[in-house]
Structure 1
Amino acid sequence: MNAHTVRPKTPTLGFAGLGVMGEPICRNILTKSGLPMRVFDLSDTPVTRLCAQGAIAADSVSAMVADVDILFLSLPGGKQVEAVVRHDILPAVRQGQIIVDMSTSPVGLTRDLAEELVAKGARLCDAPVARTRQAAEDGTLSIMVGGAEDDFALLRPLLAYAATDITHCGPVGCGQVVKILNNMVLFETVVALSEALNLGRAAGVDPGLLFDTLSKGSADSFALRNHGMKAMLPDNFPTGAFPTDYALKDMSYALELARLTGFRAQGAELARDRMEKAREAGLGDAYFPALVRLMDRT
């Protein structure tokens, strides 16, 4: 390298939201990239764990914005993303910064926030994640990205530390569209599985035999092998997994997307109604396939 060669600046990263998915995503990026990483969460426990692995604790999101080039968010939903972006990030954002929202957020909100950040000289990319908590730990997530081509090219190597499948879905908001529809199909499939299990049992078929046989035919699916066999069959719906309340939030985003595009999503409406009955029955904190316990009779 000669004296006139300009070395590329090493980006400083930030990560806010170190929950069930955020902490392992952050850990994978931190430990595999070797890049400087500042972290923040309302709970001190995950911050302490990550600092033991080389991260630097930030006092607040707004303080972190002053120091980082790329800021990842992994928050519970659109309400929290809107509050953090509008109250903590927009007042402090700097020219050229990239905000990467790995939460699942409404499409309309995502695009509105992107416009507000662009007005300040910054950019937003949506990068919601799919697959399980174990996949987050293992770095084998699927990530759906919405944003400009150049930003995707910059982010892809970082996201690859946390994911095995990274898809550029289109402009800002398109990552959210694909993630929301992914969840919508999953929820509707779980409703179908709940009906099959209850109908099969009522007709005298062993539920384990039923699901095993379905897995060998055209009804096989990720939902059957995971939500069906690992939760519905053993009737095991723990708290701390993906709860009914979170599933309802994501389903509301799908129904909002249907309204925005002028369609009626009747399957999504049915899944929402089933999950609302589960919540009313006290299963709001339970793993959402618990809706299998509540099937209407004629």
Structure 2
Amino acid sequence: MTTLGFIGLGAMGGPMCRNLAGRAGLPVIAHDIDPEARARCAGRECAATGDPARVARDCATVFLSLPGAAEVRRACLGGDGLLAHARAGTVVVDCSTVPLALTRELAAAFAEKDARYVDAPVAGTVQTVADREISIMAGTDGETFARLAPLLDCMAGTVLHCGESGTGAVTKLLLNMVLAQSVAALAEALLLGRRAGVDGERLFEAFSHGCDSFALRQHGMTALLPGRFPEGRFPTRYMLKDLDYVMELKESLGMTLGGMETVHGLLERTVAAGLGDAYWPALIHAVEEGGEQP
């Protein structure tokens, strides 16, 4: 029987692993450096281990859900990592958000061993992941996607095949780019409207009838309007990390993207102000500070 592996059992990876173990009908071996995260996933369908090499050795299909490029590189290319143990037919499905350059590097490295590295980042929140109310954007060949789709369906309500290797990674980065710019525009509108005497709640209610969006419902109504940016949700430093990857991508392609660069600067200033762990719509503080005329 095929054994599945899962590395990275944090706020997103933990619920994804539990859904995979509960729905796939296959045994799962899961690893995280945090013993408490491992304990939350251990159960009848899932064996938790403190040894990532066990996942690499014993699992032909391994899912990753890690914070960023450094962690993914270590898990894949470390001395006792996934590449070292890869064999013909091994598939690594990376649900992390990483730069396109790293995606291409890893895909080429695994291909040399007749294995597959699939970029399959996730869009969703810690509030919705347990109920599979997330989407996965996969970049791989059609045959590999067809084999993986039933497993991805165990974790996500929406599974999209974006194209060949790298297209999933790019799609996720551009999604976050658009989302960040949308929230920055909402922050500007809220601040300007309030300064002009418009009630913020009425302003956003009007927006919901004229330009309704995920950014308005998920971030405008619940965070910008009440001014609540709690830790424990997707933090500013993570959104900045993702936009760092977009900066790398656009520079590698020789493009200038004024709107994205402006929002990247807002996130940098928000982190510098000590709000790196706050929920990322906290960038409204940088918008407000930058909008004051001398």
Matching residue of 2:254: 262
Quote the Cα distance in structure 2 between the aligned partners of 1:169 and 1:34.
Answer: 27
Matching residue of 1:249: 241
Matching residue of 2:155: 162
Quote the Cα distance in structure 2 between the aligned partners of 1:243 and 1:155.
Answer: 30
Pair 1:107 & 2:100 matched:
yes
1:289 to 260, 263, 281: 281
The answer for unaligned runs of 5 or more in structure 1 is 1-9
Deviations 1:127-172 (A, max 9, x none): 0000212221101211100011111001100010111211111111
1:222 to 214, 227, 230: 214
Q: Which amino acid aligns with 1:265?
A: L
Give 3-state SS (helix, strand or coil) of 1:163's partner: coil
Does the aligned pair in 2 maintain the 1:106–1:253 contact within 8 Å?
yes
Matching residue of 1:21: 12
Pair 1:232 & 2:224 matched:
yes
2:23 to 32, 35, 40: 32
2:179 to 167, 182, 186: 186
Q: 1:53 to 1:208 in 2, by over 3 A?
A: farther
Q: Which amino acid aligns with 2:196?
A: A
Does the aligned pair in 2 maintain the 1:12–1:37 contact within 8 Å?
yes
Give 3-state SS (helix, strand or coil) of 2:265's partner: helix
1:131 to 124, 133, 145: 124
Give 3-state SS (helix, strand or coil) of 1:204's partner: coil
Quote the Cα distance in structure 1 between the aligned partners of 2:44 and 2:271.
Answer: 39
Matching residue of 1:276: 268
How far the C-alpha of 1:177 sits from its partner, in A, is: 0.5
Quote the Cα distance in structure 1 between the aligned partners of 2:26 and 2:182.
Answer: 40
Does the aligned pair in 1 maintain the 2:123–2:136 contact within 8 Å?
yes
Matching residue of 1:84: 75
Pair 1:204 & 2:197 matched:
yes
Quote the Cα distance in structure 2 between the aligned partners of 1:27 and 1:259.
Answer: 38
Q: Which amino acid aligns with 2:277?
A: D
Q: Which amino acid aligns with 1:117?
A: F
How far the C-alpha of 1:226 sits from its partner, in A, is: 1.1
Deviations 1:149-203 (A, max 9, x none): 1110011000101112111111111100100000000000011011001000100
Does the aligned pair in 2 maintain the 1:66–1:94 contact within 8 Å?
no
Does the aligned pair in 2 maintain the 1:31–1:53 contact within 8 Å?
no
How far the C-alpha of 1:56 sits from its partner, in A, is: 0.9
Quote the Cα distance in structure 2 between the aligned partners of 1:94 and 1:77.
Answer: 25
Give 3-state SS (helix, strand or coil) of 1:286's partner: coil
Q: Which amino acid aligns with 1:128?
A: P
How far the C-alpha of 1:61 sits from its partner, in A, is: 1.8
Matching residue of 2:167: 174
TM-score, normalised by the number of residues in structure 1: 0.94
Number of residue pairs the alignment of both structures matches: 288
Quote the Cα distance in structure 2 between the aligned partners of 1:54 and 1:156.
Answer: 20
Does the aligned pair in 2 maintain the 1:39–1:58 contact within 8 Å?
yes
How far the C-alpha of 1:55 sits from its partner, in A, is: 0.7
Identity %: 45
Q: How big is the alpha-carbon RMSD for the aligned residues of Structure 1 and Structure 2?
A: 1.1
Matching residue of 2:34: 43
Does the aligned pair in 1 maintain the 2:68–2:96 contact within 8 Å?
yes
Matching residue of 2:112: 119
Quote the Cα distance in structure 1 between the aligned partners of 2:127 and 2:151.
Answer: 19
Q: Which amino acid aligns with 1:240?
A: G
Quote the Cα distance in structure 2 between the aligned partners of 1:191 and 1:140.
Answer: 25
Moved more, 51-60 or 152-161: 51-60
Q: 1:53 to 1:293 in 2, by over 3 A?
A: farther
Quote the Cα distance in structure 1 between the aligned partners of 2:147 and 2:52.
Answer: 22
How far the C-alpha of 1:53 sits from its partner, in A, is: 4.4
2:139 to 116, 140, 146: 146
Matching residue of 1:7: none
